[in-house]
Amino acid sequence: MNEIFLLKLGEVVLKGLNRFSFENKLKSNIARRMRPYGSFNVHIAQSTIYVEPQNDDCDVDGAWDACHTVFGIAAICRCRPCEKNLDAIFQAVEDYLGDDLSMAKSFKVESKRADKRFPMTSIQLSQEIGGRIAEAFPQVAVDVHNPDYTVYVEVREQAAYVHGPAEPGAGGLPTGMGGRAAVLLSGGIDSPVAGYMIAKRGVEIESIHFFSYPYTSEQAKEKVLELARLMTRYSGRMTVNVVGFTKVQEVIRDQCPEEYFTIIMRRFMMRIAERIARQDGCKCLVTGENLGQVASQTMEAMAVTGAVVDMPLFHPLIGMDKKDIIAIAQKIGTLETSILPYEDCCTVFTPRHPKTKPSLREVEAIEAKMDVEGLVAHAIENTEKVTVRYHGGNG
């Protein structure tokens, strides 16, 4: 039998009566992710999804990498199926895991008997296979407490499966089960991570980027589109709404006190984002704001900014340390692009002394002198929709 993947379910197993819909969605997500890599049979049994290549033309390594990015999976392993008898199981261990065992200093066997018709208990199976391994690999010590390498044997309904240690899956919930959200995507480190974090909760996402040409360059726009493409490795294909924001920022510069530039700019962003989000069927807005990180991210400033929207406003990074955000950015592959030296519109007309504790009444009085609705409508009319997908074909 050929090598297959076993994908172990995460939080999905905790669902109640609607667990079946979560499992079906997850199975269809995996099947879609496998298509660029060939013909794979994807089915589910006993809280595990089986991914089996159907012919030798399949790109097994590409499919394996793609499985790491599917939300809803807790752990994944490559394994060798075999018949459910001791000789076949040991032969599979020797053939499939022999190289790993040869390099190990010590080992143990862990068995799971999901098929209760199998005549041995899990402990008996581990002892029998462990004894045979000890004879075949006398240089590798047996250590049941702290082994260098663990051999896993799973006896299931269709076959027995042998594999080494599993690798972590992407976790979270299946994409498409948590609604739809619009992520305010800048060119920095934080917002792509925020998008990843909300997508991990099963949420389909699109992005909204504010572009102020000629104050920000075409390279800055392409940088953001590349960040979105990198995010789609996990989220699936995405629409990026590139909002023409130049006129709004110029009016703010000309008509508002300098210390209020940033807070009023962000209020316009929220108004525009909410309109676009509602048009596209999104139920919430998501930002990469992090409490206390910059002047516009104080409690007072965020309260004034959020006061202009009626839909939920989520901040997945609100209490995280910067080092932890950077670690996630590195993990999902966005960090190197985020630190490219192309500035976004948030750096345009930056006040020397921004207001960190603005009053909502004062801000509303300033905005009352502006054509708020006209500026919002102009920005929405000057929005370009760009569809992006991961370079590797996922999504």
Q: Would you tell me the crossing angle of helices 372-381 and 246-255 to the nearest 10 degrees?
A: 160
* 17 annotated ligand binder: no
> Within 10 A of 188 (CB to CB), how many other CB atoms are there?
20
* 35 annotated ligand binder: no
- Cis check for the bond before 214: say yes or no (omega within 30 of 0): yes
Residues comprising the chain, all counted? 395
How far apart (Å, rounded) are the C-alpha atoms in residues 231 and 226? 9
Which of 179, 1, 20, 186 lies closest to 78 in space, CA to CA? 1
* 163 annotated ligand binder: no
How far apart (Å, rounded) are the C-alpha atoms in residues 76 and 224? 31
DSSP states of 169-220 as a string?
EEESB-TTSS-EEEEE--SSSHHHHHHHHHHTBT-EEEEEEEE-TTTS-HHH
* 184 annotated ligand binder: yes
β-pair type (313-314, 284-286): parallel
Give, for 384, the enclosing helix (H) or strand (E): strand 383-388
Strand partners of residue 107: 142, 149
The helix/strand count (H/E) of the chain reads as: 13, 15
120 phi and psi angles, rounded to 5 deg: -115, 150
How far apart (Å, rounded) are the C-alpha atoms in residues 342 and 190? 15
* 185 annotated ligand binder: yes
State the binding site for ATP.
184-185, 209-210, 266, 288, 297
State the binding site.
184-185, 209-210, 266, 288, 297
